[in-house]
Structure 1
Amino acid sequence: MNLAQLVRGVLQLQPDAEAIEHGGSWWTWSDLEQVIDRLDAMLNEAGLGAGVRVGGLLRNTSSIAAGIIGLVITDRCVVTLTPMLPDERLSADILALRPPAILGCAEDWARPAILAAAREIGCLGLELTGDRSDPVRLVPGLETVAGSDLRRDAPGIAVEMLTSGTTGAPKRVPLKARTLEQAVIDAGVYDNRRPDDPPKLRGGVQILNAPFAHISGVFGLFNCVAAGRKSCLLGRFTVESWVDAVRRHRPKVAGAPPSALRMILDADVPKEDLSSLVAFRAGTAPLDPDLGDAFFERYGIPVLQNYGATEFAGGVAGWTLADFKAHHKDKRGSVGRMNPGCHARIVDPETGEILPFGTEGLLELKADHLGDGDWFRTTDLAVLDPDNFLWIKGRFDNAIIRGGFKVFPDDVVRALEQHPSIREAAVVDVPDPRLGQVPVAAYIVKSGASAPAEEELRAFLRERLLPYQVPAQLKALQEMPRTPSLKVSQPELRKLFTGPLAA
Structure 2
Amino acid sequence: MSRRVMNLAHMLTQNARRHGDRTGFIWGDKSWTWREIDDAVSALAAGLAARGIVKGDRLLVHSKNCDEMFWSMFAAFRLGAVWVPTNFRLMPDEVAYLASASGAKAFLCHGDFPDHATAAANPALEFTWRIGEGAFGEKAVSDVIAAQAGARVENAAVDYDDPCWFFFTSGTTGRSKAAVLTHGQMAFVVTNHLADLMPGTTETDASLVVAPLSHGAGVHQLVQAARGVPTILLPSEKFDIAEAFRLIEAHRVSNIFTVPTILKMMVEHPAVDKYDHSSLRFVIYAGAPMYREDQKAALNKLGKVLVQYFGLGEVTGNITVMPASLHDAEDGPHARIGTCGFERTGMQVSIQGDDGRELKPFETGEICVIGPAVFAGYYDNPEANAKAFRDGWFRTGDLGHMDEEGFVYITGRASDMYISGGSNIYPREVEEKILTHPAIGEVAVLGVPDPFWGEVGVAVCVAREGAGAVSEAELAAFLAPKVPRYKMPKRFFFWEALPKSGYGKIPKRLVRDELEARGLLELISKTPS
Alignment TM-score, normalising by the size of structure 1: 0.85
Aligned to 2:246: 244
Select between 272-281 and 155-164 the one with higher mean Cα deviation.
272-281
Supply the distance in 1 between the matched residues of 2:319 and 2:354 (Cα, whole angstroms).
Answer: 24
Q: 2:198–2:282: 8 Å Cα contact kept in structure 1?
A: no
CA distance in structure 2 between the aligned counterparts of 1:63 and 1:193, rounded to whole angstroms: 29
Partner of 2:357: 353
Q: Give the distance between the partners of 1:174 and 1:238, measured in 2 at CA.
A: 33
SS in 1 for 2:429: helix
Paired residue total: 476
Residue equivalent to 2:511: 493
CA contact (8 A) 1:342 1:365 kept: yes
- The aligned residue for residue 213 of structure 1 is 214
Match of 1:7 in 2: 12
Distance 1:125 1:135 in 2: 10
| Residue 317 (structure 1) aligns with | 320
Would you say 1:332 and 2:337 are equivalent positions? yes
- Farther off after superposition, 490-499 or 27-36: 27-36
The answer to whether the aligner puts 1:367 opposite 2:371 as a matched pair is yes
Q: Which amino acid aligns with 2:265?
A: M
For residues 25 and 450 of structure 1, do their structure 2 counterparts lie closer, same or farther at Cα, with a shift above 3 Å needed?
farther
Q: TM-score, normalised by structure 2?
A: 0.81
Given that 1:362 and 1:378 are in contact with CA atoms closer than 8 Å, whether structure 2 keeps it comes out as: yes
Quick one: distance in 2 between partners of 1:436 and 1:369?
40
> Structure 1 residues 175 and 136 mapped into 2: Cα distance closer, same or farther (>3 Å)?
same
Residue 285 (structure 2) aligns with: 282
What is the letter of the counterpart of residue 9 of structure 1?
Q
1:112 aligns with 2:122: no
The residue matched to 2:40 in structure 1 has which SS?
A: helix
Q: Give the residue type in structure 2 aligned to 1:182.
A: F
CA shift digits 1:202-258 (9 cap, x unpaired): 1121112221222x1221121011111012123354422322222222223334211
Query: Contact (CA 8 Å) 1:58, 1:212: kept in 2 or not?
Result: no
CA deviations 1:429-451 (Å, max 9, x no partner) are 33344443332222221111123
Q: Give structure 1 stretches of 5+ with no counterpart.
A: 139-154, 195-200
Distance 2:323 2:435 in 1: 27
| CA gap 1:117/1:202 in 2 versus in 1, 3 angstroms | closer
Of 463, 484, 494, the residue aligned with 1:466 is 484
C-alpha contact (below 8 Å) 1:316/1:338 kept by paired residues:
yes
Once residues 329 and 33 of structure 1 are traced to their aligned partners in structure 2, the CA distance between those partners, rounded to angstroms, is 48
What is the CA–CA distance in structure 2 between the aligned matches of 1:377 and 1:34, rounded to whole Å? 41
Equivalences for 1:66-465 in 2 at 5 Å? Answer: 66-108=71-113, 111-118=114-121, 122-129=125-132, 135-137=141-143, 156-166=162-172, 169-189=175-195, 190-192=197-199, 202-214=203-215, 216-234=216-234, 235=237, 237-271=239-273, 273=275, 274-322=277-325, 329-347=334-352, 349-368=353-372, 370=374, 374-385=392-403, 387-465=405-483
Cα deviation, residue 130, structure 1: 8.0
Q: Shift of the alpha carbon at 1:271?
A: 4.0
Aligned pair in 2 of structure 1 residues 7, 386: CA closer, same or farther (>3 Å)?
Answer: farther
Letter in 2 for 1:162: F
Whole-Å Cα distance in 1 between the matches of residues 117 and 460 of structure 2? 34
Offset at 1:87?
Answer: 2.8
Stretches of structure 2 that go unaligned for 5 or more consecutive residues are: 135-139, 145-160, 377-390
Task: Provide closer, same or farther for how the CA distance between residues 353 and 99 of structure 1 changes in structure 2, counting only shifts above 3 A.
Answer: same
CA distance in 2, matches of 1:184, 1:451: 46
Sort the Cα spacing of 1:168 and 1:486 in 2 relative to 1 into closer, same or farther, 3 A: farther
Secondary structure of the corresponding residue to residue 318 of structure 2: strand
Distance verdict in 2 for CA 1:276–1:262, change over 3 Å: same
Q: Is the 8 A contact 2:260 2:289 kept in 1?
A: yes
| CA 135–123 in structure 1, closer or farther in 2 if over 3 Å, else same | closer
C-alpha distance in 1, partners of 2:119/2:358? 52
Q: Please say which of residues 43-52 and 371-380 is displaced more in the overlay.
A: 371-380
SS of residue in 2 equivalent to 1:12: helix
